[in-house]
A and B are shown apart, each in its own frame.
Chain A
Amino acid sequence: ILNVEQSPQSLHVQEGDSTNFTCSFPSSNFYALHWYRWETAKSPEALFVMTLNGDEKKKGRISATLNTKEGYSYLYIKGSQPEDSATYLCASLNAGNNRKLIWGLGTSLAVNP
């Protein structure tokens, strides 16, 4: 059984704080690691899809790192803004899994102005 775990489950920060979340995933037969942002009443949107060990991706104030050997990824938000409030989901895609992503439960972030 493959499990993807995210921590913390929820997080409350003040505007301007920097924060980070963790996603751990099975490292065997790894193919790709996805991060999505899901704002309330909207559709989930892909932030990053990462495949290479040691890879680091950045989009504005948000960045992510990937360690495929130990099976974890970090998502960082620098200088959090209220519009960053959302649930952040990660999902693991394993080779041979026939395109079936395994999803974590998400980290719910609330940024207080």
Chain B
Amino acid sequence: DGGITQSPKYLFRKEGQNVTLSCEQNLNHDAMYWYRQDPGQGLRLIYYSQIVNDFQKGDIAEGYSVSREKKESFPLTVTSAQKNPTAFYLCASSIWGLAEQRDTGELFFGEGSRLTVL
């Protein structure tokens, strides 16, 4: 089945450690995104990528890093510089519409990864 796979579902980390969350999609989508969800807040965009080997900072990129070496994969590294890393992280993808295609940006999501820093 086509979809987005995130791993791990649950992750515990000690303070000062970097951790990488995996996101893989087999939908052949150009665009991929990482969101963070905290209680009482809407989804906030961390990073997004429109094409392989290119990515842009979202609204809360500080303390995070990403790579996009393959179309299918968009891993997120939560570094020790992220001050409040405990959160639920969602990965998503979408078709990145060309000028002649009307793409309304519907997102396809993974099931999320919950990171807890001890």
Partners in one complex: yes
Write the residues of chain A forming the contact surface with B, with a CB cutoff of 8 angstroms.
4, 31-32, 34, 36, 41-46, 49, 51, 89, 91, 93, 98-106
Shortest CB distance B13–A (Å): 22
Of B14-22, B65-73, B74-82, B109-117, the one with at least 4 CB within 8 A of chain A: B109-117
Q: A34-B106, A49-B105 are in contact. List 14 more A-B contacts (CB 8 A).
A: A32-B105, A34-B107, A36-B107, A41-B111, A43-B112, A44-B90, A44-B109, A45-B109, A91-B43, A99-B96, A100-B59, A101-B45, A102-B42, A103-B42
B111 close to A105 (CB less than 8 A): no
- The closest CB in chain B to the CB of A47 belongs to B106
B48 close to A32 (CB less than 8 A): no
Contacts of A100 in B (CB 8 A): 45, 48, 58-59
Contacts of B41 in A (CB 8 A): 105
With A34-B107, A51-B104 in contact, is A99–B50 under 8 Å at CB? yes
Contacts of B109 in A (CB 8 A): 43-45
Shortest CB distance A88–B (Å): 13
Dominant secondary structure at the B interface: loop
Write the residues of chain B forming the contact surface with A, with a CB cutoff of 8 angstroms.
4, 31, 40-45, 48, 50, 56, 58-59, 90, 94, 96, 104-112
**A101–B40 Cα gap in the complex (Å)?**
18
A-B contact pairs, 19 of them (CB 8 A): A4-B42, A31-B104, A32-B104, A43-B4, A43-B90, A43-B111, A44-B109, A89-B42, A91-B43, A93-B105, A98-B56, A99-B50, A99-B105, A100-B45, A100-B48, A101-B45, A103-B44, A104-B42, A105-B41
